[in-house]
Amino acid sequence: MAGRGWGSDQGEDAAIGVSERSLFATLPPASPRSPLPLVPSPGDQPFQADVSTPVPVAGAGAIVRLHRQFGRVSLPRLRHSVATAAGLELDRGIAFLLVPVCLAGGAVGYFSLAAEPDFAKPVAVVALAGFCALVSRPWQKTHLCFMAALLCALGFLAGKVETWRAGTQMLGSEISTQVTGRVVSLDQMESGRIRLTIDVTSTARPKLRYMPERVRLSARKIPAEITAGSLISGYAKLLPPTGPVRPNSYDFSFDSYFSGIGGSGFFLGNPRIVAADDDDMRLAARLSSAVENAREAIADHIRGSVGGAEGEIAAALIVGVRAGIPDEINEAMRRTGIYHIISISGLHMALVAGTIMGLLRGAFALFPDFSARRPVKKYAAAAALFSIAAYLIISGIVVAAERSFIMLAVMLVAVLFDRAALTMRNLAISAIAVIVVSPHEVVGPSFQMSFAATAALVGAYAGWSDYRAGKTRPPPPKRSLPGFLTRKFLLAMGGLAMTSIIAGSATALFAIWHFQRVSPLSLFANLAIMPIVSLVVMPFAVLSALAMPFGVDGPFLYVMGKGLTAMIALSAWISERSPIDAVGLISQQSVLLVAIALVIATMATTWLRLLALPFALAGLLTVSDTRTPDVLISEDARLVALPIGGGELAVSRARPNEFTVDNWKRALASETIVVPEVFDKGDGQFDIADSAELPPGAPFYCTAGVCLARHPSGAIIAHVEDRKDAWKACGFAELIVINDATAYDPCHDPLVLVITKRQLARKGSAAVFFDRRSAIMPATVSFAVNRPYRPWHTQRKFSREARGLPPYRKLEKQLASPVQ
């Protein structure tokens, strides 16, 4: 009896699947007199992966046939095979799948421009491409080319429209002023400080002529009655948005511009509440404040119930409040490749939807008469759609969650209309929606890695389904309960391993390009931790959210907390045993080539997918086709760093900026920091005259206002705080960095590269490259920000440093002595 019951899955295993893509295939004509049969015999055609059959040919079989027929390949047959395969791809709908690819290409082209274009040019290109696409409809190939050009132009125009629509007014220079505004959100930081996002209503002492509309400020302590929607006031130090910490790295000004944040900083004291008439608040602001207050209340309740770091992570998973997670836990999850668990994204949305659908379908199964007469699957899908919409709102509608909601909502709507949910078409619809709404996301790591992983998984699933559809399998033997459970466990672990391998392979180069790090033990970490997250943490998070309005969520949060404790312990244990994850810089063209290969491999269904191989191979071969900077300089001219060999990075300050140094360490593949040695003037231990005796690879030695270091190539770098001391290094240094906005080039020597604080304020952080073979220009520099400025960089020209002015100092009142 037990064997019969637990072997009931044999019907499912014996069923033969049907590929959804085969529905788009052209049926072969019934007449045997067709002069050009769609299914050629092996003797007629060298390629047989382009046959018009309901089941596409596997890629491995296509390779074997290509090898067997290689000697008989001719150009006419090759052209015919390519044309036949391309026609079959079009019949299966690849043209629609390429729509988001073309839109994304246009958006990337816009954001990569060196100068901001006006509206007339992209509008004219769109109109011209649209007209050409319209008149070329009788010629299919020409029409497809013009349609691709039109979509690229539309993506370009979408980026321009979003930039114009954002129009964020950004602070140009550092200043202290009295800020009055309405609180948008509050975040409890891990350090104990509170970060507030404020819509500024006014400033005073001094009053800013170009006031940013929204700022983000931190405070040591705030009154307990301050909530979202409160009107507060306090004296604060405002700072303009910073640029990239090095050339070709993440641009924080870009992110601030499209997030509407015009400045950041901190309160010099504790802010206070200002009495105000709440009737002046707009309806949208009222709703936003209500949602934010509800999020904070839920987060406080979760922290109080779970406690510790587990409570912070639980609050991050349920309401998206993750500022309080300890830094060591964040770093451990990054090193092990499981940080995606913290960010509310497709995983969380899918787990929430899956839990709701599973619970409802299980409940409907208790009423067989009702389930037999009603479409309970659609009811469950509708409830899941409502649940993830509520989850999106309560999680703060961050960009990653918004994109994941669109992707999953498209799939659930497909279920409501009796369509397959997990298809490349639904992914394309999601991508189109995201690109139209937020084109700037295309150049960010979140969009690229999310869609790359999803496309790879959907493509692999479709290919596996096609392979299984062509196989007739006998029913499996009847199994006992232990055998049944063992088989299901092995299948689940195998599926999880393949998911991790496929998604990790698809996103590896994107992660290296953006973060210069990999997670060598990510597969092991995901196999160990994801079952805990999928089976314990997220299901009980959903149950606790459902039970919270009734006050009976305590047991569910307790179980969730225990699951999080296990997750933290495992990630810490694996992180301690993970090798160094910094891999340095890779070339941009390698990422582009791999992206093209990924598009071809996931979207093609015929032997044309083999065209992805040369692009992937070229991308892998050009990974190291980039030059590592010899020296990195921060945009405030306060920090200079250079690798000195042995995995060490020498810095010019004893207490450097931690975030900047961590980024530089990963970019330069360094493991440890070497702080400078400071010598008092005249102590006889080190003098500027001794610079010629510095060995190659020496760290910074500082004395008499000058810090000197020698690069392993032999070049000497000088970091000077005052322009009056810069001339001292002109006789022996190849690079002089002056932390003074009023400085000029004191050397007037083409063999000495001088970089001043004013240059860095205008052009951002810098990377210097030495060329000992060049006698004309031994050192060259690359800045992070190009001119003319794009809209998210225009504020740079208004800073005091960019205008060559010294730091602002208040004039002290001079007390006049009485006349005797």
pLDDT tens, 305-355? 998 899 999 998 888 888 889 989 998 998 888 888 887 776 778 888 888
Mean pLDDT, rounded, of the chain: 84
Check residue 257 and give its pLDDT. 95
Greatest alpha-carbon span in the chain:
125
Check residue 282 and give its pLDDT. 80
Position 514 pLDDT exceeds 70: yes
Check residue 690 and give its pLDDT. 63
Mean pLDDT of 655-675: 91
Alpha carbon distance 382, 413 (integer Å): 8
Distinct helix (H) and strand (E) counts, the chain: 25, 18
Torsion of CA 180, 185, 189, 193, to 10 degrees: 20
Mean pLDDT of 600-604: 91
Q: Do 272 and 234 meet the contact criterion of CB atoms below 8 Å apart?
A: yes
Name the residue ranges covered by the structural domains of the chain: 94-166, 175-281, 297-421+434-447+488-576, 631-798
What pTM, to 2 d.p., does this model score?
0.83
pLDDT tens-digit map of 382-428? 999 999 998 888 887 776 677 778 888 888 888 888 887 667 888 89
pLDDT tens-digit map of 666-692? 999 888 999 998 887 655 555 666 666
pLDDT tens-digit map of 175-204? 999 999 999 999 888 888 999 999 999 999
pLDDT tens-digit map of 39-96? 444 444 443 334 334 444 444 555 555 555 445 657 888 888 888 998 998 888 899 9
pLDDT tens-digit map of 90-126? 888 899 999 999 999 999 999 999 899 999 999 999 9
| Residue 277 or residue 515, greater confidence | 515
- Strands 194-204, 648-651: parallel, antiparallel or unpaired by DSSP? unpaired
| Residue (of 589, 254, 594, 625) closest to 444 by Cα position | 254
CATH topology of domain 175-281: OB fold (Dihydrolipoamide Acetyltransferase, E2P) (2.40.50)
Whole-Å CA distances, 308 to 538, 562, 578: 18, 12, 25
